[in-house]
Amino acid sequence: MGKLTRINLLPGIPDDDNRDYLPESLKDSNVVVNENGNNSQVYPKGLEEKKEALVDDFIDTWYQYVPDSYDPSKKTPIVFSMHGGLMTGWGQAVYTSWTHIADREGFICVFPNAQLRRFWTIECEEKLYEELSAPNPEGIYMNPVPSIEENHDALVVFALIEKLKKEYNIDEERIYMQGMSCGNAMTTMMARHFGNKFAAMGGSAGPGTMGLMFREDGTPNNEAGPLPVLQTRMENDGTPPGSDDSPLDIVVGNREYWLLVNECEELPVIKIDGENNYAFYKGKKADYIFRDVKNRDHGQTFDDAEVCWDYLFSGTRRKADGMIEYMDTLEKREGDTVNFAAEPDSAYVWVNNKKIQLTRPSFKWKKLKYHGLNGDAMVRGEYIMIPVQDLAVAFGGECICENGKAFVRINNGKELQFARGCIGCTIYNRVCSMFVEAVEREEILYISAEWFVTEVCRLQFSKCGDMMYATDHFGILSAHMARLIHDILKR
């Protein structure tokens, strides 16, 4: 796209006392609001409100952002960003950083308004209509939903593409869509029916229900074929309205949908960067990216646009013949160079983005305090116990075990000694206390994986539920990533 323009963050006027979902005072103002990361930017000066009857007699409204960095001599991508329920196109613009990324990269952003009641006309499982409409006389969803060929909101997208092609130098091979919540549901509907007309799609929150994503025979409900997709989930998010599945299971189902459609048969590479938990999948027909954000509720992160652009949109195009082509991206889809994941009662661990079988399955061991408690006990810690030789090999070392003892040398030069029932060990012939004692089972000596990665390998680890994840930088394991790794280890 040529020389990049510097992003210009503008100071706003905080209105932290405002508890409205979409305060109307944000429009055309310098007011900003914050809610657990769902933060707004100052209303973009170049955001234009447009009104026109695009497909029938209804006057549609959309918001269009053409950055000063737009170069009419160059083919230019379009990004459609679809707002959440009860929101507007301008609301999606101020609650995301798409206009900032457009300033830097030179592409055009479009933020359409939904036609009815600020909710997109999206498909819904038949059994859910009555339940979803009961609290709201107007209903959240239109029933019956018009056929996809007659869906006004879907037709508006294609009408806008044709309109923009007449006004700007549009790169027809680089048209993208991203959405939040109900807007993500709209994006998913477009992906299932018209994904072959887009280069890639992304979305945050708003996963689809299983009866909508899969047919009765278990095959994906899809008419458009493979599509490069990035799905962002929020660790503390709930389930779609009317769903009987748990939040963890609904996220698994939506992930499995795209793994099947895109034929992602290889294991992913995993990267945890701060609160961002990534799994990058290579597919035979298209790639898939999973992202879970630690300690976040329903919504989208302000940098969701940056993540979509860096990892997917910036380097993906769909050729005129329908084939997907990947170019160089700003961020390489690489996993953590060093990582180790484990959980109790598993025959496998995750080591440097590979699934490795253990000599014996892991187990959970409790560190107990019982002195002075008149026969009772207090649990002071719970640890994942793994055979010493497996930990040594995982980190490029060697181990000799005999008669309840283990001698270890690892690739950083450290020499260690462990003994059955002893909470002490030796490192370089000096005594060191571990988190919990070494335990022997069936003549195999086990020690705490948490202690080994921290004290011996000098890695940082976090735990979510029973799963632990260690790497050489700061990262916090999230619930959906813990479930993803669990499914890999148990498969």
What is the DSSP secondary-structure string of 98-138? HHHHHHHH--EEEEEPPSBTTB------GGGHHHHHTT-TT
Beta bridge partners of 78: 108, 175
Q: Is the peptide bond before 144 cis (omega within 30 degrees of 0)?
A: yes
Picking from 251, 234, 248, the residue whose alpha carbon sits closest to that of residue 296 is 234
Q: Are the C-beta atoms of 102 and 72 separated by less than 8 Å?
A: no
Geometric angle at alpha carbon 260, from 119 and 211, rounded to 5°: 45
The pLDDT assigned to 1 comes to 45
Q: Cα(259)–Cα(226) distance, rounded to whole angstroms?
A: 10
- What is the pLDDT at residue 134? 54
Structure tokens belonging to residue 323: 């084939």
Q: What pLDDT score does 188 carry? A: 96
Helix (H) or strand (E) segment spanning residue 190: helix 182-194
> Pairing relation of β-strands 339-342 and 229-234?
unpaired
Q: How far apart are CA 175 and CA 170, in angstroms?
A: 9
Give me the numbers of helices (H) and strands (E) for the chain, helices first please: 11, 28
Secondary structure class of 260 (helix, strand, coil): helix
Q: What is the pLDDT of residue 130?
A: 63
**DSSP letters spanning 358-407:** -SS--EEEEEEE-TTSTT--EEEEEEEEEEHHHHHHHTT-EEEEETTEEE
Widest Cα–Cα separation across the chain: 85
Closest alpha carbon to 439 in 383, 485, 479: 383
CA distances from 244 to 230, 240, 439 (A): 25, 9, 42
φ and ψ at residue 99, rounded to 5 degrees = -70, -35
The continuous run of DSSP H or E covering 305 comes out as helix 304-311
How is residue 401 written in tokens?
């075990």
> Which burial class, exposed, middle or buried, applies to 51 when counting CB atoms under 10 A from its CB (0-12, 13-18, 19+)?
exposed
> What is d(CA 283, CA 281) in angstroms, rounded to the nearest whole number?
6
Q: Which residues, at least 6 apart from 120, have a Cβ–Cβ distance to it below 8 Å?
A: 82, 85, 114, 153, 182, 183, 185, 186
pLDDT in tens, the chain (491 residues): 456 789 999 999 999 888 888 899 999 999 999 887 788 999 999 999 999 999 999 999 999 999 999 999 999 999 999 999 989 999 999 999 999 999 999 999 999 999 887 889 988 877 666 665 555 555 555 666 788 999 999 999 999 999 999 999 999 999 999 999 999 999 999 999 999 999 999 999 989 989 899 999 999 999 999 999 999 999 999 888 777 889 999 999 999 999 999 999 999 999 999 999 999 999 999 999 999 999 999 999 999 999 999 999 999 999 999 999 999 876 789 999 999 999 999 999 999 999 999 999 999 999 887 877 877 888 889 999 999 999 999 999 999 999 999 999 988 788 999 999 999 999 999 999 999 999 999 999 999 999 999 999 999 999 999 999 999 999 999 999 999 999 999 98
